[in-house]
Chain A
């Protein structure tokens, strides 16, 4: 009886011990979602933006949104550095700046996927917005369901 159980357990263990390789799509968790809200009642506040942009380490402008009326935006963070500064240009020629600071660590994934960058410890640096509330200190991957990272009240 014991021997039968032993062989059964051996084959059961072998059957569940297979390894699965990770998929290679959107490995970096460098996306943050911002919700704009009214300061008075906390309801969604749609804002007309001329543009929302940042600059990469080569000082090239990275344009994320142009001429859109938005209450929710998803912004990518530069995983090659530990800081990204976004400029929000409004329709009335005003602009606001928001600085994201975080820790970016490299990690090898597989020979087919290469490496990924894992962002953590997200915080808000300098900002010209009146009221900013950070809900999560970990950005998410583009391949996962978006969750609100930051709320901005105006």
Chain B
């Protein structure tokens, strides 16, 4: 069933990508003169840096979570080289257990901009990311089992490395002068973690819960774009 869900999600993304191409073909009635990009087109025109508002909001409303994330991108013609860096921690107190984790992560990848002719440099993109996280976690478990007896045990995982892949989609819009806002939707999958002898990881910073074969994520960004050169 999880493999079927992954195929459905990838099919939807591919179908969406294809629909954009067909839409552009149907809308074009004028004769287009295609010009090949030159090396000068690949010189960056600006660097955009920002922060994720949802991480702050999540920490405010969900007392067990704390985190932040920054992102940056630089344009190379219609491609955007993207980099995210963040940190998050959880402190969850349950009825029979206490779970804590803390770690940092980064993602690096490339996006394709489908609004390459927009004069304001607005961006609608599809992209891919590789993510990596290093984190530590602790579980204090209390077991009361009528068959096997009682147990109170502490488990620790230190410096666990997690890696995953993401497909991304989003929008970045110029609001006023150098200030931008946008969102990024993420489909995360292919999570792998380093070996942990006593306890299986529960939550990987930057990815999410490990009990799912794939995971959806969403960021809402406020950004500043610093021009490098005039186009």
Among A80, A111, A115, contact of B148 (Cβ-Cβ < 8 Å): A80
- Please, which residue of chain B has its CB at the minimum distance from the CB of A7? B171
The interface stretch among B45-53, B73-81, B104-112, B198-206 is B198-206
Contacts of B9 in A (CB 8 A): 16
The interface stretch among A39-47, A55-63, A131-139 is A55-63
A103-120: contact bitstring with B at CB < 8 Å (1 yes, 0 no)? 001111111111100100
- Please, which residue of chain A has its CB at the minimum distance from the CB of B16? A9
Q: Are B218 and A106 in contact (CB under 8 A)?
A: no
CA distance A57 to B149 in the complex (A): 7
> Does chain B have a CB within 8 A of A13?
yes
- Contact flag A2-B97 (CB < 8 Å), given A13-B185, A108-B139: no
Chain A 55-76 interface residues, beta-carbon cutoff 8 Å to B:
56-58, 60, 62, 76
CA distance A112 to B199 in the complex (A): 19
- Please, which residue of chain A has its CB at the minimum distance from the CB of B24? A1
> Does chain A have a CB within 8 A of B164?
no
- Contact flag A108-B96 (CB < 8 Å), given A5-B23, A57-B149, A58-B149: no
Q: Are A109 and B211 in contact (CB under 8 A)?
A: yes
Among B93, B147, B185, contact of A17 (Cβ-Cβ < 8 Å): B185
> Does chain B have a CB within 8 A of A94?
no
| Chain A residues touching B, range | 20 to 34
In the assembled complex, how far is the CB of residue B17 from the closest CB belonging to chain A, in whole angstroms? 10
CA distance A56 to B151 in the complex (A): 12
Among A6, A79, A106, A108, contact of B124 (Cβ-Cβ < 8 Å): A6
A13-27: contact bitstring with B at CB < 8 Å (1 yes, 0 no)? 110110000100000
CA distance A109 to B115 in the complex (A): 43
CA distance A60 to B148 in the complex (A): 9
Q: Which of A2, A22, A62 has the most CB of B within 10 A?
A: A2
Q: Are A5 and B19 in contact (CB under 8 A)?
A: yes
In the assembled complex, how far is the CB of residue B21 from the closest CB belonging to chain A, in whole angstroms? 11
CA distance A91 to B117 in the complex (A): 85
In the assembled complex, how far is the CB of residue A120 from the closest CB belonging to chain B, in whole angstroms? 10
- Contact flag A106-B200 (CB < 8 Å), given A10-B171, A111-B93, A114-B94: yes
Chain A 124-143 interface residues, beta-carbon cutoff 8 Å to B:
none
Contacts of A115 in B (CB 8 A): 96-97, 139, 141, 143
Contacts of A107 in B (CB 8 A): 139, 199-202, 211
Among A9, A17, A56, A112, contact of B149 (Cβ-Cβ < 8 Å): A56
Chain B 182-225 interface residues, beta-carbon cutoff 8 Å to A:
183, 185, 196-203, 211, 216-218
Q: Which of B9, B155, B200, B218 has the most CB of A within 10 A?
A: B200
Q: Are A17 and B211 in contact (CB under 8 A)?
A: no
- Contact flag A112-B196 (CB < 8 Å), given A17-B185, A79-B148: no
CA distance A12 to B155 in the complex (A): 40
Among A13, A76, A80, A118, contact of B169 (Cβ-Cβ < 8 Å): A13
- Please, which residue of chain B has its CB at the minimum distance from the CB of A14? B218
- Please, which residue of chain A has its CB at the minimum distance from the CB of B95? A114
A and B contact pairs by CB, cutoff 8 A, 25 listed: A1-B23, A1-B24, A2-B124, A5-B20, A5-B124, A6-B124, A62-B147, A76-B147, A80-B143, A80-B145, A80-B149, A80-B151, A106-B141, A106-B153, A106-B198, A107-B139, A107-B211, A108-B92, A108-B99, A108-B202, A110-B92, A111-B92, A111-B95, A113-B94, A115-B96
Given A107-B199, A114-B96, A114-B142, 12 more contacts at CB 8 Å? A2-B115, A5-B124, A9-B185, A16-B216, A17-B218, A22-B211, A106-B139, A107-B202, A109-B211, A112-B95, A114-B97, A118-B200
